């Protein structure tokens, strides 16, 4: 059963409020970055202001969500998600998350190559968590050099000089979580199943 247009539009305010709170924004802060007045934003969220395209577009852009999600439009057409790979430093990064800010997820692919890449360590703000899916990853982290194999995990502060590459010239695939400075992944286990460590760890 199709919903009436008024019902669809009436639910927009609640979504806008939930998105703003999820992002940790105040109405004043949101007004500052969108150039939409605080009173207009308040009326939008309370349902007292009819949502118009010129108001919804900057909000959808800021929250990193499709306009259809913002208004609760039904899914139609092709259900596939078309991800846009990013090519950088000879590697391919496929974004798995869409909202800006907070934790970002990527699939990283290092293509096979007969010539091993020359390390060029980089530094930047943030914290990174790696899970190796296939291949052998060479990780340079400060003065340390590690080789990670499928199933192994590493996490590090990206303000340390670091570099990722293939350890043997073969292809490498990994999942990456990248978050703001101070954000870390936390392992939770049940009391009767403590994590197992290899000797020396």
pLDDT at 160 over 70: yes
At a CB cut-off of 8 Å and minimum separation 6, what does 201 contact? none
From CA 84, how far away is CA 63, in angstroms rounded?
A: 19
Mean pLDDT of all residues belonging to the chain: 79
Q: What's the confidence (pLDDT) of residue 132?
A: 95
Q: How far apart are the first and last CA of the chain?
A: 58
Unique residue bearing structure tokens 């590459």: 165
* pLDDT score recorded for residue 175: 94
Q: What's the pLDDT tens digit per position in 131-140?
A: 999 999 999 9
Rounded Cα distance, 163 and 121, in Å: 5
81-110 residue pLDDT tens: 566 788 888 888 888 876 656 678 889 999
Q: What is the pTM of this model?
A: 0.53
- The per-residue pLDDT for 148 is 96
SS3 state at 138:
strand
| Cα 193 from Cα 148, distance rounded (Å) | 24
Q: For the segment 103-131, what is each residue's pLDDT rounded down to a tens digit?
A: 788 899 999 988 888 888 989 888 899 99
Query: For residue 48, what is the DSSP state?
Result: S
- Which residues, listed in sequence order, are joined to residue 128 by a DSSP beta bridge? 156, 178
């Amino acid at each position: 059963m199709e919903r009436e247009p008024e019902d669809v539009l009436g639910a927009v305010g609640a979504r806008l409020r939930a998105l703003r709170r999820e992002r940790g924004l105040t109405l004043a802060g949101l007004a500052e970055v969108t150039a939409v007045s605080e009173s207009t934003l308040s009326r939008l969220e309370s349902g007292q202001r009819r949502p118009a395209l010129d108001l919804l577009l900057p909000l959808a852009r800021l929250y990193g969500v499709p306009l259809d999600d913002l208004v609760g439009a039904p899914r139609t057409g092709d259900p596939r998600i078309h991800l846009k790979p990013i090519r950088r430093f000879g590697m391919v990064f496929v974004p798995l998350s869409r909202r800006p800010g907070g934790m970002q997820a990527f699939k990283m692919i290092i293509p096979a190559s007969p010539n091993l890449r020359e390390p060029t360590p980089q530094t930047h703000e943030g914290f990174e968590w790696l899970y190796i899916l296939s291949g052998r990853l060479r990780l340079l982290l400060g003065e340390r050099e590690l080789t990670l194999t499928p199933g192994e995990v590493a996490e590090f502060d990206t303000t340390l000089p670091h570099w990722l590459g293939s350890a043997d010239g073969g292809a490498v695939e990994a999942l990456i979580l990248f978050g703001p400075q101070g954000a870390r992944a936390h392992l939770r286990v049940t009391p009767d199943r403590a994590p197992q460590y290899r000797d020396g760890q």
